[in-house]
């Protein structure tokens, strides 16, 4: 019985399975390398963490503000994490909590004018870092990778 199970498992592991695993590991490796470099540069250049930068990026895209639960969902982290990040940014006067007009018990978080200015500076630098890190990939290859990864994302959804 045990030999039959092993044979069945081995027959399912095709070259395509190995290729899929290799692709996933390669994408993960590239993502981790880029993310670690960006984390390091954000910390040394601006004294900010990647999660704080990411929260500010979400707020930049939504000038009307976002509720804590929405930030948590968009950033895929717990509400407690969002509260801690927001507390830090609020102390630095980069964000402000405002009562939600639709629900007096809830708050939205918005970038302050100082937060918008600081984020604009960081975002421009961030974009130049990404460009630098990916400069060895041609425009045509970037376009092809974007199309291919979009197809994978659509299939996963």
- What does the pLDDT read at residue 3? 56
Distances (CA, A) of 9 to 4, 6, 15, 50: 9, 5, 13, 41
- What does the pLDDT read at residue 50? 95
Q: For residue 94, give its domain range.
A: 36-156
What is the model's pTM? Answer: 0.81
What is the torsional sign of CA 46, 49, 52, 58? Answer: positive
Instruction: Say which CATH number the domain at 120 has.
Output: 1.10.10.10
Q: What is the rounded CA–CA span in Å between residue 153 and residue 150?
A: 5
The answer to whether residue 14 sits within a structural domain is: no
- What does the pLDDT read at residue 77? 84
- What does the pLDDT read at residue 5? 54
The answer to whether residue 11 sits within a structural domain is: no
The answer to whether residue 25 sits within a structural domain is: no
**Phi, psi for residue 46 in degrees, rounded to 5:** -125, -5
Mean pLDDT, consecutive 10-residue segments, the chain of 157 residues? 54 70 93 96 96 96 92 86 94 94 85 97 97 97 96 94
């Amino acid at each position: 019985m045990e030999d039959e199970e092993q044979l069945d498992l081995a027959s399912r592991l095709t070259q395509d399975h190995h290729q899929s695993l290799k692709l996933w590991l390669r994408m993960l490796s590239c993502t981790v390398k880029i993310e670690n470099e960006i984390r390091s540069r954000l910390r040394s250049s601006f004294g900010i963490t990647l999660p704080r930068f990411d929260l500010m990026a979400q707020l930049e895209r939504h000038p009307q503000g976002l509720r804590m639960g929405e930030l948590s969902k968009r950033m895929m982290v717990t509400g407690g994490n969002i509260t801690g990040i927001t507390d830090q940014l609020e102390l630095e006067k980069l964000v402000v909590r405002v009562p939600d007009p639709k629900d007096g018990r809830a708050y939205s978080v918005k970038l302050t004018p100082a937060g918008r200015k600081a984020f604009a500076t960081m975002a421009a630098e961030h974009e130049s870092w990404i460009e630098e890190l990916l400069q060895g990939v041609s425009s045509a290859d970037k376009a092809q990778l974007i199309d291919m990864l979009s197809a994978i994302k659509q299939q996963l959804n």
